[in-house]
Amino acid sequence: MKNQSVANNIDWISILIYTALVILGWLNIYSSSLSSMEDTYQKQLIFIVLAIPLIIVILAVDGKFYEKYASIIFIISILSLIGLFFFGKTIAGQRCWYAIGSFTLQPSEFAKTATSLAIAKYLSDTQINLKDVVRQWQALAIISLPVLLILPQPDPGSALIYSIFIIVLYREGLPAWYVWTGFVTILLFVLTLIFEPQYVILIGLLILIFVHFKSRLADRNIILSTILFALISGFVLSVDYLFDNVLKQHHRDRFNILLGKTVDMKGIGYNTNQSEIAIGSGGWVGKGFLEGTQTKGGFVPEQHTDYIFTTVGEEWGFAGSVAVIALFAGLFLRIIYLAERQKTKFSRVYGYCVAGILFTHFFVNIAMVVGIFPTIGVPLPFFSYGGSGLWGFTILLFIFIKMDANKVNEW
């Protein structure tokens, strides 16, 4: 009886989009694997088929299970990340896989789900108020723990994803200045790289003066403004210093390509250049399925994993690219809509986390592929080749779908 109620209440729209994305992803992996003579598309098919029992299990488990065992799941996940330092397998310089026979598993793909559950669990406690500074730090500590374990692998891409939790916390009452600080930090960072630091400081000063005199007399606080100015100046100068003296050349190169400062198209700029060419050659409607010459020619490196979207761009053109982007955006908005509809704070926060994580992956990945974000290895959810990724995202999404379907039973 229970299964039937799940079937009745389940959000078929999300499942439909999920299915569409997985199938489209597989078609594009199939196309890109033709040039490499590898059996990636066969392996991906196995991963997809194996995802079906996984989904059934997730939907069959009692809806309360995830809330009840959130902490334990989180702890197991953290232990699995720590274990990498001892038993991990190094692939392409990154120590972030467990090898089980010929299969490899990437625990960081599952850590996102675990962290989401942990944050949801923590915030669902009625005692918790994010106006409280101690609570703020505790919540941030939960997020920072996996980040600190993932960064040294090194896997900056996976770590970057966790920044979206700030937005989730903001939704649940974290003061706005956290978000603003994050936003201004990123803005200053980019501006400093583009312009000379003294100009950025000058602009900052002008804005502060403007804000100071525009605000009401009572709100004017010359000391706070001065401190802010000092902070901005310090940050800008240290970015300049860090960029030139601390970052390694290949990191600098990634930013420089983006800012149009380096044009070494055979070296570091090769990936971005080739992926832009592949997408750019697609035109309005693309060259057609299996007709992409750049895809066939194998010009784009890592095309079946992080650069899978280039195949979409080349073979399906602007129309296909927009369709895929619309599917993703639709899924994220649907999840947020569902999250806001939740009866419990736990499932609402979790839903938010799901939407946020998927969105961050989506944006960072496609922005990198189209050349407006530095080269950072982040997979495109449901699309990119890889078992850990596919299963990780599937689990992340379907736990929420289960929670959503279960809300009726909670009365």
Partner 1 sequence: MRKALLPSLIILATILLVIRIFYLQVVDETLKLKSENNAIKKKFEYPERGYMYDRNGKLLVANQASYDIMVIPRELKKTDTLEFCQLLNITKEDFIKKIEKAKVYSPRLPSVFMSQLNKSEFAAFQEKIRKYEGFYFQKRSLRDYEVAFGANIFGFITQVNEKLVAKNPYYNSGDLIGRQGVEESYEDLLKGIKGIKYIQKDKYNREIGSYKDGKYDTIAVQGEDINLTIDAELQKYGEELMINKRGGIVAIEPSTGEILALVTAPSYDPGILVGRQRSKNYTALYHDSIAKPLYDRGLLAEYPPGSPFKILTGLVALQEGVIDENSTVFCNHGFSYARGRFMRCHCRGGALQLHRGIYESCNSYFATAYMKTINKYAKPAQAVDVWANHMTSFGLGQFMGYDLPTGKKGKIPTSKTYKRIYPNGGWRSTTIVSNAIGQGEVLMTPIQLANMMAIVANEGFYFTPHIIKKIEGHQIDKKFTTKHTTTIDKKYYKPMISGLFDVYNMGTASALKVEGIDICGKTGTAENFAKIGGKRVQLKDHSIFVAFAPKDNPKIAIAVMVENGGFGSTIAGPIASLMIEKYLRQKITRLDLEKRILTTSLQAQYAKLGGLSEAVKLQLRISDSILKKKTQIPINKAKIDSTPIVKKVI
Quote the CA–CA distance of 75 and 79 in Å, as a whole number.
6
Tell me whether residue 48 or residue 331 sits nearer to partner 1 (CB atom).
331
Number of residues that bind partner 1 (CB under 8 A): 43
Under the criterion CB under 8 A, does residue 290 sit at the interface with partner 1?
no
Nearer to partner 1, 324 or 399 (CB): 324
| 267 belongs to the binding site for partner 1 (CB under 8 A) | no
269 contacts partner 1 (rule: CB under 8 A): no
Residue 321 is a binding residue for partner 1 (CB under 8 A): yes
382 CB neighbour count, 10 Å cutoff: 28
Stretch that binds partner 1, among 50-58, 106-114, 135-143, 356-364 (CB under 8 A): 356-364
Of 22, 21, 28, 27, give the one whose Cα is nearest residue 326.
Answer: 21
Min CB(284)–partner 1 separation in Å = 6
**Closer by beta carbon to partner 1, 44 or else 375:** 375
- Return the range that interacts with partner 1 (CB under 8 A); candidates 19-27, 254-262, 332-340, 392-400: 332-340
333 near partner 1 (CB under 8 A): yes
Query: In whole angstroms, how close is the CB of 47 to partner 1 at the nearest point?
Result: 26
Peptide bond into 156 cis (omega under 30): no
**325 is a contact residue toward partner 1 (CB under 8 A):** yes
In contact, 160 and 376? CB cutoff 8 Å: yes
Least separation in angstroms between CB 98 and partner 1: 33
- Residue 98 pairs in a beta bridge with 105
Q: Which is nearer to partner 1, 59 or 366 (by Cβ)?
A: 366
In angstroms, give the least distance from the CB of 333 to partner 1: 6
DSSP per-residue letters across 326-379: HHHHHHHHHHHHHHHT-SSHHHHHHHHHHHHHHHHHHHHHHHHHTTSS-----P
Hey, which residues between 147 and 186 contact partner 1 (CB under 8 A)?
167-168, 170-171, 173, 179
Per CB under 8 A, which region of 148-156, 193-201, 349-357, 375-383 contacts partner 1?
Answer: 349-357
Cβ(131)–Cβ(175) below 8 Å = yes
The closest of 163, 122, 186, 184 to 356, measured between CA atoms, is 163
Residue 355 CB, nearest distance to partner 1 (Å)?
7
The sheet with strand 94-100 has its strands ordered as: 89-91, 94-100, 103-105
99 vs 80, 91, 236, 268, 301, CA distance in Å? 13, 10, 43, 30, 24
Question: Is 351 among the residues that bind partner 1 (CB under 8 A)?
Answer: no
| 299 touches partner 1 by CB under 8 A | yes
Residue with tokens 């009886």: 1
Judged by CB under 8 A, which of 83, 152, 154, 297 binds partner 1? Answer: 297
**What is the contact mask toward partner 1 in residues 361 to 390, using x (rule: CB under 8 A)?**
--x--xx--xxx------------------
Distance CA 246, CA 113 (A): 33
Closest-CA residue to 203 (of 183, 175, 222, 184): 184
Q: Does residue 278 touch partner 1 according to CB under 8 A?
A: yes
Q: d(Cα 191, Cα 340) in Å, to the nearest integer?
A: 36
Euclidean distance between CA atoms 404 and 63, whole angstroms:
9
* Minimum CB distance to partner 1 smaller for 6 or for 348: 348
Q: What is the binding site for partner 1 (CB under 8 A)?
A: 167-168, 170-171, 173, 179, 266, 276-284, 293-294, 297, 299, 313, 317-318, 321-322, 325-326, 328-329, 332-333, 336, 340, 352, 355-356, 359, 363, 366-367, 370-372
